[in-house]
Amino acid sequence: MSSLSSVNITILGSASAQPSSTRNHSSLALRLDGDVWLFDCGEATQHQIQKSSVKMGKIQKIFITHTHGDHIFGLLPVLAGRLNGAGGTIDGVDDPRAHAPPEDVPPLEIYGPLGTRAYVRHGLTYTHTLLGAPYVVHELRLPTDPQEGDGTALAPHPYERPGRNFLQSEDGAWRDICRERLVAVSAAPILHSVPCVGYVVNELPVPGKMDPKKYIPELKRTNTPMSVMSRLQQGESVTLSDGTVLHGPARKPGRKIVILGDTYDPSPIAHLAEDACLLIHEATNAHLPGIDPNTKDSDTYEIVEERAKSRGHSTPQMAGAFAKKIRARKLVLNHFSARYPGNDDTDEEARKIMGRIRELAESTFGGEVICARDLMSFDVGPRKDA
């Protein structure tokens, strides 16, 4: 396989700091040909997975944007659920999970800023959680962070494998922190009230469009097996028996998905995020006079924006402006205040509120905008320009 056959996103949680009856804390699942990568694990993410079509056993990687509780408090339960974790046994009863796993068992990989490794290690250790498979935590270190070490003196959990500490490149990015056969992930800091990261998931270049009429006559003329068409489709060059060289179509850019954590200014990641097929950007607060009954009479948009920024967050207009700046194809808004209901698919008042939030983002973006809703699921199709 030379390109992904299926890319899907399921929103597991779309709330900000306070969850509501219709919005869970932050998390989303990115499914790549069946494998599942989670981005953030707020409280009750495991419950949301159980309500969705996402398979717990398919989770291979977890990416944490920052260590605020609404983005990480669900990480340990997900680890325990995914890796057969539970409490131990009484003295004298052997539990195979008390012993280190075989070295040939691949670990579940976790990526996050400084503190992620210590949080997981302390949480598993002091809750006496045993695991049935290994994990590893890689950290994205800022220049002001310790460049080495684990950030804690506590001994590693028996099932913890040594992780890497990634240092920023000259442009401020952490490039290729994860590289699979068809996908690579890079990251960069974004501005929030605490250290925060945005992730860019890049599908590697895909085969270009092939015109068989350009190749088949040459293959027949030289009695070359038609099986070489598969090599040409992959962009390879093939030398025929008479010395003629056929060149396969050039590869085209694959899909690019940009997933941001909380931010009032994501500009440090802009150079990585350009021409994204999909941008996921927070929109915690909005000014909705005449629509949201909780809107203060004294508020103006400028006041709401300044208030959001002071807390490290964005408005729909700010999200739309960044989407336009990076020439994103589509924008998904998430991380909504608890005052904005997540049942706009069934409730008319909620539909009016979320519809207006979408319009505000469209006013500065000009492209397609979707307001995330818990358990919403959608595919990310191949690039139309590929």
Question: In the chain, what percentage of residues exceed pLDDT 90?
Answer: 81
Q: Which residues of 212-228 are buried (b: 16+ CB within 10 A; e: fewer)?
A: eeebeeebeeeebeeeb
pLDDT at 37: 99
Last residue of a domain, one of 221, 247, 273: 247
Do 114 and 181 have their domain in common? yes
Catalytic residue chosen out of the listed positions 33, 35, 70, 275: 70
pLDDT at 160: 96
**Nearest Cα to Cα of residue 163 among 64, 240, 39, 15:** 64
pLDDT at 98: 65
* Cβ(116)–Cβ(261) below 8 Å: no
pLDDT at 210: 84
pLDDT at 215: 87
**Nearest Cα to Cα of residue 183 among 209, 205, 207, 208:** 205
Do 140 and 161 have their domain in common? yes
Do 45 and 136 have their domain in common? yes
Q: In the chain, which residues have pLDDT < 70?
A: 1, 87-94, 96, 98-100, 385-386
pLDDT at 342: 97
pLDDT at 206: 85
State pLDDT tens for residues 371-380: 999 999 999 9
Give the amino acid at 92. G
Do 24 and 54 have their domain in common? yes
Question: Hey, what long-range contacts does 52-60 have (CB within 8 A, 24 or more apart)?
Answer: 52/10, 52/12, 52/375, 52/377, 53/10, 53/377, 54/10, 54/12, 54/29, 56/81, 56/82, 57/82, 58/31, 58/34, 59/108, 60/35, 60/36, 60/108, 60/109
Does the residue 57 lie in any domain? yes
- Say what angle helices 75-82 and 116-126 make with each other, to 10 degrees: 60
Beta-bridge partner residues of 256: 202
Element (H, E) at 63: strand 59-63
Do 114 and 236 have their domain in common? no
* Cβ(26)–Cβ(71) below 8 Å: yes
Do 65 and 195 have their domain in common? yes
pLDDT at 153: 97
Identify the domain containing residue 239 by its residue range.
212-247
Q: How far apart are CA 366 and CA 363, in angstroms?
A: 6
pTM, two decimal places? 0.92
Do 167 and 240 have their domain in common? no
pLDDT at 314: 99
Does the residue 95 lie in any domain? no
Do 258 and 344 have their domain in common? yes
Active site residue 70: yes
Do 239 and 259 have their domain in common? no
Do 56 and 196 have their domain in common? yes
Do 159 and 294 have their domain in common? yes
Q: Please report, for the domain that includes residue 126, its CATH number.
A: 3.60.15.10
Does the residue 235 lie in any domain? yes
Burial tier of 148 (Cβ tally within 10 Å: 0-12, 13-18, 19+): exposed
DSSP designation for 98:
G
Does the residue 368 lie in any domain? yes
**Tally of domains within the chain:** 2
pLDDT at 61: 99
Does the residue 384 lie in any domain? no
Do 372 and 235 have their domain in common? no
